Chain A
Amino acid sequence: MEKRSVFKSTWLPIVFALPQLTLILLFFYWPVAAVMNWAFTLEPPFGGAAEFVGLDNFREVFHDPFYWNSVLVSIIFAVCGALSAIFIGLVLALAVDRQLPGSGFFRFLYILPFAVAGPAGGIAFRFILSPERGLAAILNSIEPDLWNPAKYGSHALAFVIMIFIWKWAGYTFIFLLAGLQSVPRALIEAAAMDGSGPIRRAIDIQVPLLAPTLFFLLVTMMTEGFVGSDTFGMVHATTAGGPNRATEVMVYRIVDEAFHGLNYSGASAQSIVLIGLIMVFTFIQFRFIERRVHYK
Chain B
Amino acid sequence: MKHSALRAALAGLFAATTLAAAPAFAEKTKFEFWHGLSGDLGERVQEACKKFNDSQADFEILCTSQGGYDTTLQNTIAAYRAKKQPAIAQIYDAGTLDMMLSKAFVPAKKLMADNGYKIDWDNYFPGIANYYATAGGELLSFPFNSSTAVIYYNMSAFEKAGVTAKPETWEDVAEAAKKLKAAGYECPMAFSFDPWPLMEQFSAIHDQPIATEANGYKGLNAELTVNKTKFIDELKFFKKMQDEKLFVVKTKQLGMDTVPAFTSQTCQITMSSIADHGTVGKTLPEGVKWDVGMLPVFKGTERKKSLVGGASLWVLAGRPEAEYKGAAAFLNFIAQPDMVQWWSTVTGYIPVTKTGFEAMKKNGFYDKAPYKGREIAIESLTLTQPSENTRGIRLGNFTQIRKEISTALEAIYMQNADIQSTIDQAVERSNQGLRRFEKTYAGEKLN
Contacts and interface: CB of A to CB of B under 8 A. Distances in A.
A44 B411 contact: no
B291 to A, nearest CB: 26
Contacts of B256: 130, 132-133
Interface string B56-87: 00000000000000110110010011000000
Contact of B98 (A48, A133, A262): A262
B414 A150 contact: yes
A17 to B, nearest CB: 29
A190 to B, nearest CB: 54
Interface string A216-260: 000000000000000000000011111111000000000011011
Nearest to B417: A244
B433 A46 contact: no
Contacts of B403: 256, 260-261
Interface in B375-414: 397, 399-400, 403, 407, 410-411, 414
B253 interface: yes
Interface stretch (B150-158, B164-172, B282-290, B434-442): B434-442
A242 B123 CA distance: 44
A150 B415 CA distance: 10
Contact of B414 (A130, A243, A263, A265): A243
B85 to A, nearest CB: 10
B253 A239 contact: yes
B402 to A, nearest CB: 9
A91 to B, nearest CB: 31
A261 B254 CA distance: 25
A238 B253 contact: yes
B346 interface: no
B242 interface: no
Interface residues on A, range: 35 or more
A58 to B, nearest CB: 13
Contacts, number: 96
A46 B104 contact: yes
B368 interface: no
A44 B99 CA distance: 11
Contacts of B101: 44
A46 B436 contact: no
Contact of B253 (A46, A51, A126, A259): A126
Interface in B197-253: 251-253
Interface string A258-290: 011111011000000000000000000000000
Contact of B80 (A47, A51, A245): A47
B23 interface: no
B17 interface: no
Minimum-distance CB pairs A-B, first 6: A130-B255, A133-B255, A46-B102, A261-B400, A150-B253, A132-B255
Given A51-B439, A242-B407, 6 more contacts: A44-B102, A131-B255, A239-B253, A257-B400, A260-B399, A263-B436
Interface of A: 42-48, 51, 53, 60, 126-127, 130-134, 137, 149-151, 238-245, 256-257, 259-263, 265-266
5 contacts: A46-B103, A46-B104, A243-B410, A243-B414, A261-B397
